[in-house]
Amino acid sequence: MVDESLGLKVSRKSGEKIRRTLIEMGLFDRSRKICSDESHVYLPVLEIDEKSAAKLGSIGQFELVHFSFLPEERIISPEDLLGFRPSFEVVGDIAMVEERDAERVAAALMSTNKSIKTVIAPISDVEGEFRTRRFRHVAGEARTVTLHKEHGLRYRVDLEGAYFTPRLGTERLRIAGLVSPGDVVLDMFAGVGPFSLLLAKKGAKVIAMDKNPVAVKYLRENALLNKVNSIEILEGDASELALRYENRADHVIMNLPHSACEFLIPAMRAAKSEGMVHYYCIAPDDDLYKDVALIKKAAEEKDLGVEVLYKEIVRSYAPHRSNVVIDFRLLKS
Ligand SMILES: C[S@@+](CC[C@H](N)C(=O)[O-])C[C@H]1O[C@@H](n2cnc3c(N)ncnc32)[C@H](O)[C@@H]1O
């Protein structure tokens, strides 16, 4: 048995215009479903007073009716179940949650999102040279390996063995927009390959390196998985490996935000004249682009010209600290 409630009967022709106006006026009843027959649409409304009736009448003809609208099925969110909005990040089919209420949050996530198969909680910060984190298993299948999709590519990732975050997805697209087919790209800190493979798919010739053997293992696997051939993969220290490519790179990607400044000289040597370096760092919010001075100093040391092309916050990192990017062009005589 469905209760009758208030609605507007309007011609199919003016249905969409009136629906939008009702939403703008805050009069559309979202708890009920729109209904239609061959010639008319029935729009559920909360109330209609004289003033709103006059406004709606100026948009299209309508008849006020009582109608048996079906209830709108509402998707239950984790917030509905928990009473608060949990903070979490999803990579592939794994959700990473905070320690507070982890078990309750995991149950809410898994019951509202069937694609989540595993829930883990970090028990360490992102730490060490390889920028990895340790996790504890909270619910679902006990694993840290998953398959993540980004910009049409698939990445096998071990969240405990190598660094990966989906939060840089938009930034990776921005860089892809700057790279042309045939460009040589040196990705100094490639991880499991999210910059490298996207750029190689765009037609760039990519040289990707990482010191973490686990990251390199997944990078190789991901190149095969995505049928990417125009990539050379190297395991080792970027400060040495980059020197093999002196004056070769149209683009150098330096995504090691905590210590990128220590690698400026090899990056500058690898870039060709007019080559671009995409430099990521963590900076205090009151001095976001302090590393510009370091970049200029390193260029001066090597007698190179430098032109800063772009600087922006990529994401917030911690209270009062942000992950920023500085793109600069090198001018070599
Ligand atoms: C912040 S992660 C970035 C990974 C990848 N670019 C991404 O967006 O997911 C930094 C990477 O640099 C690697 N790394 C750290 N020191 C390195 C070094 N000296 N030479 C090469 N790779 C290094 C780490 O193993 C890690 O995979």
Say what the pLDDT of residue 24 is. 86
- The answer, yes or no, to whether residue 327 has pLDDT greater than 80, is yes
Report CA dihedral (18, 19, 21, 24) to the nearest 10 degrees: 170
109 falls in which pLDDT band (50, 70, 90)? very high
Q: How far apart are the first and last CA of the chain?
A: 82
CA 304 and chain centroid, separation: 34
- The answer, yes or no, to whether residue 176 has pLDDT greater than 70, is yes
Ligand 1, atom 7: closest residue by C-alpha:
191
Percent of the chain with pLDDT over 90: 89
- Write the burial class of residue 319 (CB in 10 Å: 0-12 exposed, 13-18 middle, 19+ buried): exposed
Average pLDDT over residues 290-314: 97
Please report, for residues 114, 115, 155, 228, 332, the alpha-carbon distance to residue 225 in angstroms, rounded to integers and kept in the order given.
Answer: 25, 21, 8, 8, 38
Average pLDDT over residues 221-232: 97
Q: What is the mean pLDDT of the chain?
A: 95
Average pLDDT over residues 263-284: 97
CA 42/CA 74 separation, integer angstroms: 20
For 315-326, the pLDDT digits (tens) are 999 999 999 999
CA 100/CA 115 separation, integer angstroms: 23
More confident residue, 134 or 59: 134
Separation of 77 CA from ligand 1 center, angstroms? 36
Which residue from 132, 256, 325 has its CB within 8 A of the most atoms of ligand 1, so it is best to mutate? 256
For 86-102, the pLDDT digits (tens) are 999 999 999 999 999 99
Say what the pLDDT of residue 267 is. 98
Ligand 1, atom 18: closest residue by C-alpha:
237
* Domains, in order of start, for the chain: 5-67 (3.30.70.2580), 78-143 (3.30.300.110), 165-331 (3.40.50.150)
- The answer, yes or no, to whether residue 1 has pLDDT greater than 70, is no
Average pLDDT over residues 116-134: 97
Whether the full predicted model's pTM is greater than 0.75, yes or no, is: yes
Average pLDDT over residues 121-125: 97
Q: Kindly report the backbone phi and psi dihedral angles of residue 31, in degrees, each rounded to the nearest multiple of 5, phi listed first.
A: -85, -5
- Which single residue is written with the structure tokens 């609208």? 69
2 falls in which pLDDT band (50, 70, 90)? low
Separation of 44 CA from ligand 1 center, angstroms? 55
Q: Work out the number of other CB atoms within 10 angstroms of the CB of residue 170.
A: 11
Average pLDDT over residues 149-167: 97
Phi-psi region of 68 (alpha: psi -120 to 50; beta: other; left: phi over 0): beta
More confident residue, 77 or 252: 252
Say what the pLDDT of residue 205 is. 98
Average pLDDT over residues 154-161: 98
Average pLDDT over residues 145-156: 97
* Range name among 58-67, 128-137, 142-151, 241-250 with the lowest pLDDT average: 58-67
Separation of 255 CA from ligand 1 center, angstroms? 7
Average pLDDT over residues 98-108: 96
Separation of 105 CA from ligand 1 center, angstroms? 31
Say what the pLDDT of residue 227 is. 97
For 59-82, the pLDDT digits (tens) are 899 999 999 999 888 778 899 899
Nearest to 261 by CA among 291, 288, 303: 291
* DSSP symbol at 39: S
Which residue from 132, 163, 235 has its CB within 8 A of the most atoms of ligand 1, so it is best to mutate? 163
For 14-45, the pLDDT digits (tens) are 999 999 899 888 899 988 999 999 999 999 99
